[in-house]
Structure 1
Amino acid sequence: MSLLRSAALPQPLPAPAAAPGGLPTPAPAPVSVRVRGPLRSPVVSRLARHAFAVLPLLVIGAWAVVDWPSMRAGAARLAGAEPGWLLAAFGFTCLGWVAAALNRQGAIPERLPPGLLLASQFAAGAANHVLPASIGAHAVTLRFLQAQGIPLARGTASLALYSLVRPVAKTMVLLVFLIAFPGMLRLGALLPDDRTLLVVAASVPAAGAAAAVLLTTVPALRRPTASFLRTALTDARVLHTRPSRILALWGGAAATPLIQGSVIATVGFSLGLPLSWAQVVFALLVASTAVGAVPAPGGIGPVDAALVFTMVAFGAPVGLATATVVAYRVVTVWVPLLPGALVLSALVHRKVL
C-alpha cells in the first residue's frame, strides 16, 4: 500500500548539477518560439501565379473587342501604305523600347540585366496601353526591380526620378526645336489662350498646397514621405556623379519623343502626309505637352486629338492627319500588343515579375 501511495505522488525534479567550484549550473534559457501567420499553400500560390499570367491576355482581349473598329480602320489604311516607310516605322518602334530600357537603367544605381530589362519594357508597353497615366508600365517595372533585389523605397524613387526627367527632357527638346526652326513652325494656332495658361499656372501651386495640407493633417504620412524623399535625393545625387547613368537617364528621355515622332512621320510618309519630319515631331511635342497630363491609357484619346489638330495647323488635310494617327496607333499599340502580353505572361510565370 505504501508503494502504491509513493508511486502516485509527483516525483521531484532532479536538482541541477553543481558546476566546478560548488556553484549550481544555471538553468537553460527559455527558447522563444515565433508564431507566424498561416502559410500559403504551394498549390494556391501556383494557381495565383497562373491566374496573373493569364490576366494580361484576358484584359487585352476585352480591350480588343471594345476598340475593334479603330483597329480595323487603321489596318485598312495601312493596307495601301508604302512598305518601305512602314518598315522604318516598325524599326523606330523597336528603338523606343531600347530608349525606355536605357531611361529605366539610368534611374537606378544598380546595374540591371540588359536582356531582362529590355523584355520588361516590352511587356510594360502592353500594360501601359491598358491602364491610364503609365500606371501599368510603372507597376511592371517596379515588380521587375523588386525581383532583381532592389528595395521598394529605391525602386519607387527610381520611378519618381524617371517620371520627373521625361517631361523636363521633352521640354528641352521642344525648346531646341523652337530655336532651330523659328520660321518654319507656325505657332499662332497652337498657342493656348489666356484662360488655359491661367489654369495651368494656378494648378502647380494648388497641387503643392494640397500635398502640404495632406502631410500636415495626416501624421502617418510624414515618416514614409521623409524616407522616400531622402532615398530619392540620395539616389539622384549618386546617379548624377556617374556619366554613364547621366547619359542613359537624360539621353533616353530626350530620345523618346524624337523616336515617337519619327514613327508618326514614317507612318505619315507611307500614307502621303505632306509634312516634314520636323513638323511632325514638333506637332507631337506640342500635343503631348498640352494634354499629356490627362489620364488616358497610353495617351490614347486626348493626345490623338491634339496631334491631329497640330498637324492640321501645319497644313495637313484633316482626313490624312486622322488616318496617320490611327495607323500610328496600330503600329505602336495593336501590332506589338499580343506579343507584349505573351512576354508579360511569360515573365510572370518565370517569376521575373
Structure 2
Amino acid sequence: MTQTHDDAARSPHGDAAGVPVDEPAQPDRIRRTSDAIRFVASVVGLAAVMLLVSIAQQTTHGLETDIAEGTAHAPRLLLSLATLVSSFGVLAVPIAFGVERVFHKDGTRVAIALLAAAIAFGITVSLDDLVVRAAPGGVLDSLIWGGTETAPVHTDIAPVIAFVTAVGMAGRLRWQAATWALIGLAALTGLTASYASVAALAATYFLGRAIGHGTLYTVGTPNPRPSGRAVVAALERLGLRARRAARLDEPTGDAEEARVYGAVLDPRRRAGDDWDVELRVLDRDQQTAGLPYRAWRLLRLRATTTGRALRSLRRSLEQESLMAYATGAAGARTPRLVATSEVGTEAALLVYEHVPGRRLADVPDSEITDALLTDVWRQFRALQAGRLAHRRLQEGAVLVGADGHAYLTDLRAGEIAAGDLALRLDLAQLLTTLALRAGPERAVGTAAAILGEEALASAVPLLQRVALSRETRTALRHNRDLLTRIREQIVRRKPETAVAPARLERFRPRTIFSVVALSIAAYIVIPQVASLDIGTMASTANWTWVLVALGAAALTYVAAAFMLMGFVPERLPLRRTVLAQLAASFVKLVAPAAVGGVAVNTRYLQRSGMRPGAAVATVGASQLVGLVTHLLLLTLFGFLTGSTSQATQNLAPSRAVVIAVLSLGLLAGLTLTVPRVRREAATRLKSMFSGVVPRLVDVLQSPTKLTTGLGGTLLLTLSFVLCLDASIRAFGGSLPLTSVVVVYLTANAVGSAAPTPGGLGAVEGALTLALTISGLSADTATSAVLLYRLLTLWLPVLPGWGAFAYLQRKEAL
C-alpha cells in the first residue's frame, strides 16, 4: 500500500514523531499553478474540438459512419457484455477509490471531487436538454449523431472524468488504469450505440478535465506537502537522527523556492548553536510554479539560453544533486551534499552540510570588500573551468560564510557540460549582480584580475536586459545605465572588444504586436470590403476625382511630417519622418486615433536621439497647436457656412446646445472653487503642459520652425478636406468647400474622441450624417465616405506595416 504522509512521519524506531520541529502552520488547502495551467489547456482543447468539427464536418461524419459499419458485424453478446461492464464499472471503480481515500482520512479531496462531478453533471444535462433544442445546427450538427435525439456530450462519463480529475490518482497506477479503461470502454459503447459521436466524446473529455481542474483551483487542493515531522522522519531513514529541527526560510511569494529546514543531529557534528545540516525540500506541486514565464522565455529566446520549462520532481532532484556533486568536484566552494531521499510521493529531500553565514543580499555594502569580490570570482572561475552553468547567479545564490569565504548555492537550475553561450550568460549575469552592489568599476576590476580581459570581452555582447534573470531586470529599473557603464569599463580595458549585442531572441515582443495588429486589421478590413459592391462603385465612380483624392490622401503624410518637424529644434530627415507618419497609420488600427500617432511619434523622436521628456513635450506641443488650429477653423468655417448656406444651417449649434455648453461651463467653474479640486486640476495640467510651453517658446523664436509647424498643420487639414471633397465629386456630388471643411472638422473631432481604433464607426457615422444633412443623397454620401475611409484608413495599412517594420529594423522605432 502506498505510504501516506502520516505513515512517513512515524520513525522505524518509533520516536521520530517526537522530534520537535519549529515551523509555521501550513495551510489546509492550496491553489496549485498546475491546476490553473491544466484548466486553461483543457479549455483550449475544447475550443480546438469546436473549431475542428466546424471546419471538418464531412470528415467527422465519415469517421462515425465507418465506426458504425465496423461495429455492426461485432457479436451482439460481446457488445451487450461490454455495455454492462462499462455501465457498472465506470461508476463503481471511482466510488471504490473514493471510499478508499475516505478510510485514509482524505475525505476533503473526495468532497471536492464530488462537487466537480455535480457541476459537470449539471452542465452536461443543460447542454443536452437545453442547448441542442434551442440552437441546433452549425457546430452542434457535428457534435450530435443521428439528429437532435442524441447528445452533444456524453452525460454518463463527463461527471466521472471530472471526479477522477479532481480526486487525484497520481502515483496509483492500478486505480488509474482501471478507471480510464472503463471510461474508454463506456466511450466505445456510446459510439457503437450511436449515443455520441467521436467529436462529442472528445468534447466530453476536455469538458470534464476543465471542470475538474477548475474546481480544484477555485476551491483549493488539500495541502499535500509533507510536514516538518515527515521531513525529519525521512532524514532518520537516511541514518541521520535529528535532535531538533526548525524551518529557516520565511514563506514568500516566490513559489519556486524550496522549503529550507535546519537540523541538529544526534550525535552532534558541529559545536556551538549552529545547525549540523540544512534540509531542502522540493514539493511536487511547486514544480510547475513559474511555468508560464519559463515557457514564454523558452519560446522567445534561443534554446541554448534557457533551461527546461517543465521539470518533474524526480528530474529536479536529480538535476540539483548532480550539480552539487559536479560543483564540488570542479573545486568551487559549495555546501557539501550529504544525502537525498523522497518524502512520500509528494516531495523530495536534499541534505546539505550547514554552512553558517549570510546571503550576499543580506550583507551591507560596507562589508563587500574587494577581497570578497575576488573570492566570488575564484569560485566562478572553477565553475567555468568545469563547464558548469549555474543559470541563477543572483545575490541569493552567493553565500558569505562566517569565515569570510564565498560559497555558491542554489544549484537547482544548473547544467553540466554547458556550451560557450551558457557560460558567457553566467558571466554577464554575475557581472551585473556584483555591479548592482559594488559598482561597475569594482565588479569589472576584480573580475579582470581573476578571469582576464579576454574572458570579460566575451560577455559584452550578452550584457542585455533580456539575457538576465527576472529579479535582476527588476533591479535595473532603478539603475538604467548600469549595463552601459559595465560595457564602458570592459571596453576601456580592452578597446578592440566587439560591442554589438548578440542575437538572443527568436522574436521580440514588438514582432508579436505587429502580427496581432495586422491580424486585427485583416479581421476588420475583410468584412468591410466584402460588404461593398465594388463593381457598382467602380463603374459609377469618376476615376479622375478618385486619383485626386488618392493624391490628397498621400499628401497628408508629408503634411504630418512637416507638422512634427516644425516643433523639433534638431533637424529631422524628411523621408524617415514621412515613413514614421505612415507607420502611425498602421498603429492606429489597434489604438484610438488620438493615441496611436502620439505613441509612434514619441518613440520616433526618442530613437532619433531626443530625451524622453523632450520627445513627449515636442509631440504634446504639436498636438496642442493642432487642437487649437482645429477649433479655430471649426469656429471660422462654421460661421461662414451658417452665414452663406441655408443647406447646412442645421450644422450650426442649436439653442439647446448653447445652453448645455454654458451650463457645463458654469458647473466646471463652481467645481473649481473647491480648493482640493482646484489643486488637483492644477497639478494635472502642470504635469501635462510643463514641457509643452517651453517647447512652444522655442518654436516662436525660430520663424522657419514656426512656418514649418503651422504650415504643416494647415496643410494637413487642407489635404484631408481635398480628399473628402474629391471623394464626393467622384460619385457626382458637390458641396461648397466651406461645408466640406465643417463636415471634416466635425467628424475628425468625433473620431479623435472615440475610443475605437482609428475612430472606426464613429467617423463613418458622423461623416455620413453630416453629408446627408448638408444636402447629399444617402447613396452618394455613403459611397463618398467609404472611398474617403478606404484611402485614408484602409489603403495605408499594408504600406504602414511595411514602414513600421522597416523603421524597427533600422532601430528608428
Asked if these proteins are the same fold (TM beyond 0.5), I'd say: yes
Mapping of residues 1-353 of structure 1, within 5 Å: 33-34=438-439, 39-41=465-467, 46-49=505-508, 51-53=509-511, 55-74=513-532, 76=534, 78-80=537-539, 81-178=541-638, 182-184=643-645, 186-201=647-662, 206=668, 209=672, 216=679, 229-289=689-749, 292-353=752-813
Report if the CA contact (8 A) 1:107-1:239 is conserved: yes
Q: Give the structure with the larger helix fraction.
A: 1
Instruction: Please identify, of 342-351 and 268-277, the stretch whose mean Cα deviation from structure 2 is larger.
Output: 268-277
Unaligned runs of 5+ in 1: 1-29
Q: Give the structure with the larger strand fraction.
A: 2
Report if the CA contact (8 A) 1:74-1:327 is conserved: no
Unaligned runs of 5+ in 2: 1-368, 371-436, 444-462, 468-500
Look up the equivalent residue of 1:86 and give its one-letter code: V
Cα deviation, 1:278-326, whole Å, max 9, x if unaligned, reads: 4323321233346642333223322221221221112101121012111
| TM-superposed deviation, 1:265 | 1.3
Look up the equivalent residue of 1:295 and give its one-letter code: P
Relative to structure 1, the CA distance from residue 184 to residue 159 in structure 2 (aligned partners, 3 Å threshold; closer, same or farther) is same
In the alignment, the residues of structure 1 paired with residue 639 and residue 750 of structure 2 have an alpha-carbon distance, to the nearest angstrom, of 19
Relative to structure 1, the CA distance from residue 261 to residue 333 in structure 2 (aligned partners, 3 Å threshold; closer, same or farther) is same
In the alignment, the residues of structure 2 paired with residue 328 and residue 304 of structure 1 have an alpha-carbon distance, to the nearest angstrom, of 9
In the alignment, the residues of structure 1 paired with residue 533 and residue 618 of structure 2 have an alpha-carbon distance, to the nearest angstrom, of 37
Secondary structure class of the residue paired with 1:134 = helix
| TM-superposed deviation, 1:137 | 1.2
Look up the equivalent residue of 1:243 and give its one-letter code: P
Look up the equivalent residue of 1:275 and give its one-letter code: L
In the alignment, the residues of structure 2 paired with residue 283 and residue 118 of structure 1 have an alpha-carbon distance, to the nearest angstrom, of 26
| TM-superposed deviation, 1:266 | 0.9
Cα deviation, 1:71-112, whole Å, max 9, x if unaligned, reads: 234571642222211111111011100110011111222221
Report if the CA contact (8 A) 1:124-1:140 is conserved: yes
Relative to structure 1, the CA distance from residue 45 to residue 158 in structure 2 (aligned partners, 3 Å threshold; closer, same or farther) is farther
Amino-acid identity (%): 24
Secondary structure class of the residue paired with 2:592 = coil
Structure 1 residue aligned with 2:286: none
Relative to structure 1, the CA distance from residue 284 to residue 45 in structure 2 (aligned partners, 3 Å threshold; closer, same or farther) is farther
Q: TM-score, normalised by structure 1?
A: 0.78
Report if the CA contact (8 A) 1:78-1:327 is conserved: no
Structure 2 residue aligned with 1:15: none
Relative to structure 1, the CA distance from residue 158 to residue 107 in structure 2 (aligned partners, 3 Å threshold; closer, same or farther) is same
In the alignment, the residues of structure 1 paired with residue 677 and residue 567 of structure 2 have an alpha-carbon distance, to the nearest angstrom, of 27
In the alignment, the residues of structure 1 paired with residue 663 and residue 615 of structure 2 have an alpha-carbon distance, to the nearest angstrom, of 31
| TM-superposed deviation, 1:61 | 2.2
Instruction: Please identify, of 225-234 and 312-321, the stretch whose mean Cα deviation from structure 2 is larger.
Output: 225-234
Report if the CA contact (8 A) 1:132-1:297 is conserved: yes
Relative to structure 1, the CA distance from residue 215 to residue 47 in structure 2 (aligned partners, 3 Å threshold; closer, same or farther) is farther
In the alignment, the residues of structure 2 paired with residue 305 and residue 113 of structure 1 have an alpha-carbon distance, to the nearest angstrom, of 37
| TM-superposed deviation, 1:134 | 2.2
Relative to structure 1, the CA distance from residue 46 to residue 38 in structure 2 (aligned partners, 3 Å threshold; closer, same or farther) is closer
Report if the CA contact (8 A) 1:92-1:263 is conserved: yes
Instruction: Please identify, of 309-318 and 247-256, the stretch whose mean Cα deviation from structure 2 is larger.
Output: 247-256
Relative to structure 1, the CA distance from residue 155 to residue 69 in structure 2 (aligned partners, 3 Å threshold; closer, same or farther) is same
Cα deviation, 1:38-69, whole Å, max 9, x if unaligned, reads: 843266764453x4135324312223223423
Secondary structure class of the residue paired with 2:631 = helix
In the alignment, the residues of structure 2 paired with residue 193 and residue 330 of structure 1 have an alpha-carbon distance, to the nearest angstrom, of 33
Cα deviation, 1:227-261, whole Å, max 9, x if unaligned, reads: 76443221111111111111122222222222112
Larger Rg: 2
Report if the CA contact (8 A) 2:557-2:582 is conserved: yes
Report if the CA contact (8 A) 1:93-1:260 is conserved: yes
Report if the CA contact (8 A) 1:185-1:314 is conserved: no
Structure 2 residue aligned with 1:3: none
Relative to structure 1, the CA distance from residue 229 to residue 309 in structure 2 (aligned partners, 3 Å threshold; closer, same or farther) is closer
Number of residue pairs aligned between Structure 1 and Structure 2: 320
In the alignment, the residues of structure 1 paired with residue 519 and residue 587 of structure 2 have an alpha-carbon distance, to the nearest angstrom, of 13
In the alignment, the residues of structure 2 paired with residue 266 and residue 280 of structure 1 have an alpha-carbon distance, to the nearest angstrom, of 10
Look up the equivalent residue of 2:586 and give its one-letter code: A
Q: TM-score, normalised by structure 2?
A: 0.36
In the alignment, the residues of structure 1 paired with residue 798 and residue 562 of structure 2 have an alpha-carbon distance, to the nearest angstrom, of 23
Look up the equivalent residue of 1:53 and give its one-letter code: T
Report if the CA contact (8 A) 2:606-2:612 is conserved: yes
Relative to structure 1, the CA distance from residue 317 to residue 228 in structure 2 (aligned partners, 3 Å threshold; closer, same or farther) is closer
Relative to structure 1, the CA distance from residue 228 to residue 184 in structure 2 (aligned partners, 3 Å threshold; closer, same or farther) is closer
In the alignment, the residues of structure 1 paired with residue 689 and residue 741 of structure 2 have an alpha-carbon distance, to the nearest angstrom, of 35
Structure 2 residue aligned with 1:8: none
Secondary structure class of the residue paired with 1:189 = helix
In the alignment, the residues of structure 1 paired with residue 653 and residue 639 of structure 2 have an alpha-carbon distance, to the nearest angstrom, of 20
